[in-house]
Amino acid sequence: MAVHYPQQDYVARGSQTTSVPGDLISAVSVHGSVRSVGQARMFPSSIHVERDFVVDVPNVGVVRVLNSFYIRVQRVEGGFVAVSGISDVYELGETASQAVVNYLFSLVDELVWFREHKESLSSSMLRDCTKLQFYLSLV
Amino acid sequence: MGTSINDLRRVLAVVLGFELEGGGDHVRYVLRVNGIIVARTKFSRSWRGNQQIDDSILSLQAKQMHCSVKMLKSLLQGRLGKEDYFRVLLDGGFISQDDFDFLSR
C-alpha cells in the first residue's frame, strides 16, 4: 500500500501473519503489525508498533522493527504530534494518521542519518544511535 | 508573541553556530566541534514557510537540543547567549570542557 505525500511517496508494510491494525493508523498499513491501544479517537493515544513491522521509504531506506515500541499521539495547535521513547525526534501531521506516518518516516530518516554519520558522532550521539538500533534495523 | 520557524533558524545558525544540513526530506541542523557532531536538531517535515511554533512543539525542539524550553525561549528572546547554552551542554555531559572552550570563543 502506498500513501502519497507532497514531498515523497511513502510505503509501509508489515508481516503477513499479523492482524489488521486499528483504524487510527489505517492509512499507514492494511496488513501491518501496528495497532492502536485503547480508544483510538481519544487523545493522547498510544500506537503499538510490533516486532517485524517494516517501513519502506523509497530512495531513503527500509527498516524492520526489532523490538516493539509505542508511538504517542496527542493534539497540538493545528493538528497532531507523534513522539516515542526510542528517539527524541517528533513529527507533526494534520491528522493523527499523518503524524504517525510522518513519524515512522522520520525514524527511518534518522537511522539512515546515524549510519551515514557514525564516524563523526560524539559519545552521547552514539548512545542515541545505539538506542535506536535496539528497536530498528536497516534491511 | 509566538515563535516562528525563522526565529528558530536564526538562533540555531547565527547565535549557536549550528550548520544546516542540505539534502533529504528533512531540515536538520548539526553542531560540530572539530568535525565531531555533538548535537543536532531536526525540523518536522510538515513545517512550511515561516509558520508559528507553539510551546508544546518548542518543548520537543528544546529536548532535541538537550536544553529546557525555558532556555530555548530565552535564546530566542536574546536574553541568553551561546555561552549559556554551551554551559548546559557541558553540565549535561554532552560536550567536554575543551569543546566548551572551543565553542564559546
Q: Which of A66, A137, A131, A73 is nearest to A102 (CA)?
A: A73
Q: Which of B45, B54, B94 sits opposite A124 (nearest CB)?
A: B94
B61: confidence class by pLDDT, cuts 50, 70, 90: very high
In chain B, what residues touch A72 (CB-CB under 8 Å)? none
B47: confidence class by pLDDT, cuts 50, 70, 90: confident
Q: Where are the alpha helices (DSSP H) in chain B?
A: 5-10, 55-64, 69-77, 82-91, 97-103
Q: Cβ of A77 and B37 within 8 Å? A: no
Burial A13-28 (b: 16+ CB within 10 A, else e): bbbeebeebbebbbbb
Q: Is the pLDDT of residue A7 over 60?
A: no
Q: Is the pLDDT of residue B49 over 50?
A: yes
Peptide bond connecting A6 to the previous residue in cis, omega within 30 degrees of 0: no
pLDDT digits (tens, 9 = 90+) for B3-36: 889 999 999 999 999 999 876 667 899 999 999 9
Q: Is the pLDDT of residue B76 over 70?
A: yes
Burial A83-122 (b: 16+ CB within 10 A, else e): bbebbbbbbbbeebbbbbbbbbbbbbbbbbbbeebeeebb
Q: Which of B28, B44, B9, B63 is nearest to A92 (CA)?
A: B44
Domain count, chain B: 1
Q: Is the pLDDT of residue A1 over 50?
A: no
Q: Select the more confidently predicted residue: B86 or A45.
A: B86
Least CA distance to A76: which residue of chain B? B56
| Distance, CA of A93 to CA of B45 (rounded, Å) | 9
In one letter, which amino acid is B18? F
Write down the pLDDT at residue A41: 56
* Residue A109, C-alpha cell as written in the block: 530518516
Write down the pLDDT at residue B35: 93
Q: Which of A22, A13, A40 is nearest to A104 (CA)?
A: A13
* 3-state SS assignment for residue A71: strand
H/E segment holding residue A134 = helix A123-135
| Distance, CA of B44 to CA of A100 (rounded, Å) | 12
pLDDT digits (tens, 9 = 90+) for A34-90: 555 555 456 668 888 989 888 888 888 889 999 999 999 998 888 899 999 999 999
Share of chain A above pLDDT 90, in %: 42
Q: Is the pLDDT of residue B41 over 90?
A: yes
Write down the pLDDT at residue A26: 43
Q: Which of A121, A101, A81 is nearest to A9 (CA)?
A: A101
Partner A contacted by B23 (CB < 8 A) = no
**CB contact at 8 A, B34 and A119:** no
Q: Select the more confidently predicted residue: A122 or A22.
A: A122
Residues from A in contact with B at Cβ < 8 Å: 7-8, 60, 76-79, 81, 83, 88-94, 98, 102, 105-106, 109-110, 113, 117, 120-122, 124-125
Q: What is the ipTM of this complex?
A: 0.89
Q: Cβ of B25 and A60 within 8 Å? A: yes
For A7, residues 6+ apart whose C-beta sits below 8 A from its C-beta are B25, B45
Q: Is the pLDDT of residue A19 over 50?
A: no
Report the predicted TM-score, pTM, of the whole model to 2 decimal places: 0.82
Angle between helices B69-77 and B55-64 (to 10 degrees): 100
Q: Select the more confidently predicted residue: A42 or A115.
A: A115
pLDDT, chain A, mean: 76
Q: What angle do CA B40, B44, B49 make, to 5 degrees?
A: 110
Range of the domain at B92: 3-103
Write down the pLDDT at residue A56: 85
